Amino acid sequence: MIPARPSRIFRNRWWAVLWAAGVIWTAISIAGVAPSNHGKAQAKTQASQSATSPDSDSSSQSDQQSSADQAEIAKALKLVG
pLDDT of res. 22: 92
16 vs 59, which has greater pLDDT? 16
62 vs 56, which has greater pLDDT? 62
How far is residue 1's CA from residue 53's CA, in Å, rounded to a whole number?
54
How far is residue 75's CA from residue 61's CA, in Å, rounded to a whole number?
21
In sign, the C-alpha dihedral spanning 77, 10, 15, 25 is negative
How far is residue 70's CA from residue 76's CA, in Å, rounded to a whole number?
10
Average pLDDT across the chain, whole number? 74
How far is residue 18's CA from residue 58's CA, in Å, rounded to a whole number?
47
